[in-house]
Homo-oligomer: A and B are copies of this chain.
Amino acid sequence: MLKHTREITIGSVKLGGDNPVLVQSMTNTDTRDVQATVAQILRLQQRGCELIRSSVPDEASAAALPDIIRQINIPLIADIHFDYRLAIAAMKNGAAAVRINPGNVGGKEKALEVICAAKDMGKAIRIGVNGGSLEADILKKQGRTAKALVDSAMRQLEYIEATGFTNYKVSLKASSVPLTVEACTLFAEQCDIPQHIGVTEAGTVFSGTVKSAMGIGALLLKGIGSTLRVSLTAAPEEELRVAWAILQAAGLRKRGAEVISCPTCARTDIDIISLAEAVEARLAESDKQITVAVMGCVVNGPGEATEADYGIAGGKGVGLLFKKGQIIKKVAENELINELMAMIEAE
């Protein structure tokens, strides 16, 4: 169960409170290229992206926002570095929120201008604190620790809260998984501000998936996180696939079918690897929120398959078709997948 946080509003979307954990990603197109950016966002929407962030590094990017936002269906968050005026311009041009790191937009005064503009326009803010850009005095006193990340965040929040503005979320990110998990946990113990969670600079599809699943997964299992982004050095479509797999495995949200399958071992008489990959591929586009078990032998098959909605268990040349733990029928091995899919589609 998720830990309680206060609710905030990002455009058409509510986040925190009793809302589900929202999935976001970031465009990697040139924001000034409206057509490419819109096309990518529409693809990401289809894959379950619920909030999209785009870099706004210059005025031309800020100027492109109205044309982009008009053609998409999810709130856009402008990612700002260095120039606080771009944050204000992005909100004026329709961004539902901006992501700023107060430390790199010129400090408290500049950050306060952004906060007040957001308050006036009914926008949201993400305050990003990153292990790589901590204030010198905090870093000197505490090192790159969880407490340093939280203290850095709290220093910003003090003057933000003083303005009466509460429509914001916080992210505490580091490329170290234990540091990220510890910092977000410490922050959640100290306040009820919604958190955007993720592991920064996580890496390639392989190592980024491992680190994100660990870090984001460990936090979600503790009930921490109102929205998440899986950061990968890869196409953003990959980030969404991993994000949804994490939410599904955490038992928090479902999107499409989940395939569970046993590892291979000497007892397996069928080609379980191909079978599981094939079932996963056949179900990839399914919107049925089901669990399907692909089991290699009689040892684990029947027992484990009771937890799944549907299942197949392999044997020598023949397999068994299951439904909620009940054997439906015996099927020839080469007909297993077709029979399984027919059973699922018939419901």
Interface residues of A (CB under 8 A from B): 26-31, 54-55, 57, 61, 79, 81-82, 104, 130-133, 144, 175-178, 181, 200-204, 206-211, 213-215, 217-218, 221, 231-236, 239, 241-242, 245-246, 249-251, 258-268, 272-273, 276-277, 280, 293-295, 299-300, 303-304, 306-307
Contacts and interface: CB of A to CB of B under 8 A. Distances in A.
Given A130-B300, A204-B280, A211-B249, 14 more contacts: A26-B263, A28-B263, A55-B266, A57-B266, A130-B303, A177-B250, A204-B277, A207-B258, A208-B261, A213-B217, A214-B217, A217-B217, A233-B262, A233-B264
Contact of A272 (B81, B233, B251): B233
**Which of A175, A208, A236 has most B Cβ within 10 Å?**
A175
Contacts of A81: 267, 299
Given A210-B209, A267-B57, A261 B242 contact: no
A221 B181 contact: yes
B221 A177 contact: yes
A134 to B, nearest CB: 9
Contacts of A231: 262-263
8 closest cross-chain pairs (CB), A and B: A214-B217, A132-B303, A55-B266, A213-B213, A28-B264, A132-B304, A231-B263, A233-B261
B259 A210 contact: no
Contact of A262 (B200, B294, B307): B200
A82 B55 CA distance: 59
Contacts of A236: 264
Contacts of A130: 300, 303-304
A131 to B, nearest CB: 7
A307 B132 contact: yes
B280 A234 contact: no
Contacts of A251: 176-178
10 contacts: A28-B264, A55-B266, A82-B299, A132-B306, A175-B260, A177-B249, A201-B295, A209-B210, A215-B249, A234-B264
A27 to B, nearest CB: 7
A227 to B, nearest CB: 16
Contacts of A27: 265-266
Could you tell me the dominant secondary structure of chain A's interface residues?
mixed
Contacts of A55: 265-267
A303 B218 contact: no
Contacts of A79: 265
Contacts of A267: 55, 57, 81
Contacts of A295: 201
A13 B24 CA distance: 45
A209 B207 contact: no
A203 B233 contact: no
A28 B266 contact: yes
A276 B272 CA distance: 32
B202 A260 contact: yes
Contacts of A264: 28, 233-236
B211 A209 contact: no
A265 B300 CA distance: 45
A301 B175 CA distance: 12
